[in-house]
Amino acid sequence: MGSLRNPVGPLPSSIYWRRRAVALCLIALLALLTLWAVTSGGGGGKKPNDGANGASPAPSITPGPSGSGPAISEQPGGRDESGDSGETTGGEGGTGEDASTGTEGGGKNGDTDGGGGDGGAGSTAGQQVPAGSPIPNCAPGSLQLTLKSDKLSYAPGDKPRFRLIARNASGTDCKADFGPKSAVLKISNDKGDQIWSSQDCPRPGTPILLRVPARTAITHTVDWDRGQSAPQCATAPAGPVGPGTYLVEAALPGTKVSPASFTLAKD
């Protein structure tokens, strides 16, 4: 106990007392800091936006309105659109200049000798190629042909339009002649009498070579002006044909095509 009151050492006692005073001040300061930290951190207040378990409630999701009406609508007027069986075809061709090939149509008998047309979304129009194209000719039987009429019945003044859809079933691109002398369209009445043919008086009569890509379909469009024709551009009966039921047939060398019927309505 005497050493606490009277420090023992080589240095004067006043130095030891100063050291003790500094140590006591540091201990007192540390105690004050500890007390302040305890009193300021234990507020016990609630944090803002706390929920029952200290978390905000999950937002609710409101479902949107359910769709109404059928998912697929029926095609109007009984028109059978090309492509409904997985075909990729060209769109409608004009009655004047062909939109895809630039070949002038409007032959003497009202036929449009051109490949494809303007082409709709997701469709492929026939691409005309020159006679010297290295693309091989389509082998007999490699093309699957379908003949369709745009409408089942045409009102007075409507120009009937027919589509020859050619699908290349092979794995190689090829070309075929869709000119009026090769891809021949014929129209007959309900008595079986032929009244019009694309090869009777074609203009122009040159071949129309169209590229048919592998495993793809193109469309060759032909318009009929309701007039009659005669072989070798002979004089045919004047005026349009009358109302009734007619049959359109197509012929391409080495390929069979099923005919299609249509009606010209009365006034």
pLDDT tens across 104-127, in order?
A: 333 444 444 344 443 333 336 678
The side-by-side arrangement of strands in the sheet containing 161-168 is: 114-115, 217-223, 161-168, 143-149
pLDDT tens across 129-180, in order?
A: 998 899 999 988 889 999 999 999 999 989 999 999 999 988 999 999 999 8
CA-angle at 74, arms to 72 and 79, nearest 5°: 135
Burial grade of 120 (CB within 10 A; 0-12, 13-18, 19 or more)? middle
* pTM score of the predicted model: 0.55
Single out the residue of 156, 252, 145, 152 nearest to residue 207, CA to CA. Answer: 252
Q: Which residue has the higher pLDDT, 75 or 206?
A: 206
Distance CA 162, CA 198 (A): 12
Q: Characterise 58 by phi-psi region: left (phi > 0), alpha (psi -120 to 50), beta (else).
A: beta
Distance CA 149, CA 90 (A): 15
What pLDDT was estimated at residue 4? 56
